[in-house]
Amino acid sequence: MAEKKKPPKVADLSPPAQAAIKQKGLEGKYQFREWLRILEELSAFDAVTDEIQAKAGKRAGWFGFLLVLAIVGTIVSAATGLVFLAPIAILAGLAFLVFLIMNLVTRSKMKKVDICDDLRNSLMPFLDLIGEDVGTKGKASMKLDLAGLNKVKITRKEKIPPGPYNKVIETVYEDPWCEFSAVLADGTRMQLQLHTQAVSHDRHWTKRSRSGKIKFKHKRKWKKLVQASAALVPDGETFEWGEEPAVEGKIKVADKKYGRVCQLTRKWKFSSVGNAPAESVSPDELVGMFIQLCGMLKPVEKGA
């Protein structure tokens, strides 16, 4: 039998990780290995809370169903004269109600400390992959918004033409949740920005059953657009920009005070029904963007 996992405690985390959970975000400049340690803590914490939250939700659904059956059983036993069954149904109903409340409370507690799943599914494995290029003692700056999609991120909510439905409400979320920069071992500065745009369509319609009853139906469909912007700034002493090869994505070049920046932007689309898409950009694809940019670099020619 699998061991039942206990809800993790925020107090058991390191101070930076505690602050990230409470504030739903983290910003600062640390050694790269310190960032890895903090984000590994957060990723492990989020994985456990998500699992407990999902199981508590399923159990709450089952106990809610059993509670309804117990109530129906109590009514039927009283109506049919089987009075001796009523106390049993009432006691069972009370037990189901207690378990229902317990699981709803657990789910609510886990939801309060829940953070963006893209951290552990996309960003954390990406940082693991580039660790050797940055060096564990190298400095890295990061600004993370870990709240995920919530009411604060809503930029537009309105009714749209319903088509075959009675009513359709469109809600648009904008979530620029990650800004990361670090200096690689060869002196090249790397930058990564991750921006999520999500659109939900709440579709409402009615359906008449064979008995003539009208049922109200609702379905929520999601579309998730993830935009990743990867940029490199060579130090100008070891490497410089060469010719621009054919790459997958949009290239933008700009001169900044710290050097010439070449930025590659790509987008990915995901969709789902019910809850927002859980899919994230794979870390390999993020690394691939920087590999494409590195292919545009050439060694600086040393003058005689």
Q: Are 202 and 218 in contact (CB under 8 A)?
A: yes
Residue 110 lies in a domain: yes
- Give 278's pLDDT tier (boundaries 50, 70, 90): confident
Q: Is 283 a member of any domain?
A: yes
pLDDT band of residue 138 (cuts 50, 70, 90) is confident
Last residue of a domain, one of 86, 115, 144: 115
The residue-averaged pLDDT of 266-289 equals: 92
Say how many domains are in the chain: 2
More confident residue, 1 or 110: 110
**Same domain assignment for residues 283 and 149:** yes
Query: What is the domain extent for residue 24?
Result: 9-115
> Amino acid identity, residue 38?
I
**3 within a domain of the structure (yes/no):** no
Instruction: Provide mean pLDDT across the span 19-47.
Output: 91
Average pLDDT, the chain: 86
Across the range 4-16, mean pLDDT stands at 80
pLDDT of residue 122: 93
Between 177 and 254, the more confident residue is 177
| Residue 16 shares a structural domain with residue 151 | no
Cβ atoms of 122 and 278 within 8 Å: the answer is no
Look at residue 238 in the predicted model and tell me its pLDDT: 67
Shared domain for 84 and 171, answered yes or no, is no
249 contacts 266 by C-beta, under 8 angstroms: yes
**Positions of E strands within 161-249:** 167-183, 189-208, 214-233, 239-241
Residue type, 122: S
Residues 121 and 200 in one domain: yes
The pLDDT, as a whole number, for residue 4 is 59
Q: Is residue 16 in some structural domain?
A: yes
Query: Is residue 127 a part of any domain in this protein?
Result: yes
Instruction: At 206, list the tokens.
Output: 């009615």
User: How far is residue 78's CA from residue 86's CA, in Å, rounded to a whole number?
Assistant: 6
State whether residue 231 is helix, strand or coil. strand
Q: Residue 141 has which token pair?
A: 């700056």
Instruction: Please compute the mean of the pLDDT values over residues 51-60 and round it to a whole number.
Output: 92
Mean pLDDT over 3-16 rounds to 78
47, amino acid identity: A
Does 125 have pLDDT greater than 60?
A: yes
Phi-psi region of 298 (alpha: psi -120 to 50; beta: other; left: phi over 0): beta
For 28: left if phi > 0, alpha if psi spans -120 to 50, otherwise beta; the answer is left
Q: Does residue 1 form part of some domain?
A: no
Q: Identify the CA nearest to 157 among candidates 168, 140, 169, 144.
A: 169
237 or 274: which leads in pLDDT: 274
Q: Rounded to a whole number, what is the distance in angstroms from the first to the last CA of the chain?
A: 73
pLDDT at 3 over 60: no
pLDDT bin (cut points 50, 70, 90) of residue 265 is very high
Give, in degrees to the nearest 5, the angle at Cα 196 between 194 and 197. Answer: 150
User: Is the domain of 213 the same as that of 252?
Assistant: yes
